[in-house]
Structure 1
């Protein structure tokens, strides 16, 4: 193993998975080889735990997980390490903003996920323990207007996005970077020894905090500017390339 880095943190959609939402054989094999060498592999996503656990099961490894952008952090054993809730008052304000602008919204809560378009009643903010809240629209003008309002709250909540059509909100101080730091510290690993790989702006915190922040070749241009390195795309098994080059020390990957 390359002893410069002891941990790799991976975004899921657009990073670990290909455009079809599948885990390639090459990527799965690279993950298993890294795990056998003792590398700590952390899955880090805006997804809730039930959706992220499905990916871990496909890989075939018990892995620690940063869920809902750091709102819940789970040990490889399946034990919840920490939880950071978004106050109900913020959910009320965000829901009102979404409805005023006629856009989709959803929230991930301890009890489950709730969507504005699934035909089911959306719970009152005080009736759930909220992890994160997301608004989405394909209308860039509408999203720009929403972000303008949301960014007035910067410093009171954490704001990110998985893609340009979304705006994601977490409690203040909660991010993928904070979750990765919590999990890595348990193994005595500092952020300088972490590789973080992602493609969206909700990966910015971990890309900037890690010792080696890598943007996928298919990443947003803004994230590429923040990264120390730009790797291959998810269609090119970019995660497998990162693991071979920086964890396994593969000579062919080093020459790329």
Structure 2
């Protein structure tokens, strides 16, 4: 049986239950895995400031993967290990397109959330992520810094229509994906969770065969394909369950704990 030494877990709808909590049983399994020398990390589309709050609650103190894989940063000293950005000219193109078509767009600069529109979509997103935000309608009035990620929030049907239109607009250097059905995200082509998992495994000197990736949404595809064991949650989108090596229980049934107990923890 393979000895797995690195486990990357998505947050929303994977490690987190629907009420955004982590069960005590899952926390205990994670603590046991860490005590055995296994590296547990988070791989999320959330910004670092948001993911850090969850990581600290569950006892993770290693570098975590955020912004889909565009930023790997150490929790203890905030050292940046890996970073990729959306080109500024591409961010401007997205801004102009969304202004022209009345779409909601937000961007992330220096680990801060900037929205070009106020309203319900922004408030709901900020509440879920437990982060503050800044509303700035003008692109040229944004602060200096790189755009780590941009995101359009809209109805799933609308985003399904938009994705094939926007992919050629942003070009090959930008990866377009969905984390939740109503989130269409734009990151650097080397800013996926798959790229980040490979980097972190190399950082620790761990072969990819000894890695596990656990997720539920299509933005988890790259890391599930890259990992030695790719795991989809029972509540994952059907396309992800089809390509996974293993399907675990749902996020509300401690699916992450089940994976740790089945494949990682020593009896």
Same fold, TM-score > 0.5, yes or no: yes
Residue 83 (structure 2) pairs with residue 83 (structure 1): yes
**Quick check: 1:201–1:222 contact (8 Å CA) kept in 2?**
yes
Partner of 1:67: 66
Determine the structure 2 residue equivalent to 1:234: 251
Corresponding residue for residue 23 of structure 1: 22
Q: Following the alignment from structure 1 to structure 2, what is the Cα–Cα distance between the partners of residues 245 and 101? A: 49
The Cα of 1:163 is off from its aligned counterpart by: 1.8
Partner of 1:131: 148
Q: 1:151: which partner in 2?
A: 167
Please report how far the alpha carbon of residue 16 of structure 1 lies from its aligned counterpart in structure 2 after TM superposition.
0.5
Greater alpha carbon shift after TM alignment, 155-164 vs 12-21:
155-164
Structure 2 length normalisation: TM-score? 0.87
Distance in 2 (alpha carbons) for counterparts of 1:76 and 1:117: 31
1:2-13 aligned within 5 A? 3-13=2-12
Unaligned ranges ≥5, structure 1: 251-256
Write the distance in 2 (CA, Å) between the matches of 1:189 and 1:75.
Answer: 18
1:183 equivalenced with 2:200 (yes/no): yes
For residues 116-156 of structure 1, the C-alpha deviation after alignment (integer angstroms, 9 at most, x for no partner) is: 3347214436843110111111151x212311112324532
State the distance in 2 between where 1:38 and 1:249 align: 11
Which of 220, 224, 232 matches 1:207? 224
Aligned residues: 248
Match of 1:253 in 2: none
Query: In 2, are the aligned partners of 1:214 and 1:227 still within 8 Å (CA)?
Result: yes
In the alignment, the residues of structure 1 paired with residue 171 and residue 258 of structure 2 have an alpha-carbon distance, to the nearest angstrom, of: 36
Deviation at 1:102, TM superposition (A): 2.3
Instruction: Give the whole-Å Cα distance in 2 for the aligned partners of 1:74 and 1:29.
Output: 24
Identify if the C-alpha distance between structure 1 residues 238 and 136 changes in structure 2 by more than 3 Å, giving closer, same or farther.
same
The aligned counterpart of 1:41 is 40
Aligned with 2:179 (options 145, 159, 162)? 162
Instruction: Quote how far apart the aligned CAs of 1:60 are.
Output: 2.5
8 Å CA contact 1:207–1:214 kept in 2: the answer is: yes
Asked whether the 8 Å contact 2:8–2:213 carries over to 1, the reply is yes
Deviation at 1:19, TM superposition (A): 0.5
CA apart distance, 1:72? 1.0
Distance apart, 1:240 and its partner CA: 0.5
TM-score normalised by the chain length of structure 1 = 0.90
Answer with 91-100 or 110-119: which moved more.
Answer: 110-119
Give the distance between the partners of 1:134 and 1:231, measured in 2 at CA: 29
Q: Are the counterparts in 2 of residues 88 and 126 from structure 1 also a CA contact under 8 Å?
A: no
Distance 1:90 1:24, change over 3 A: same
Q: Secondary structure at the match of 1:186?
A: helix
99-108 vs 31-40, which moves further: 99-108
Structure 1 position 249, deviation (Å): 4.5
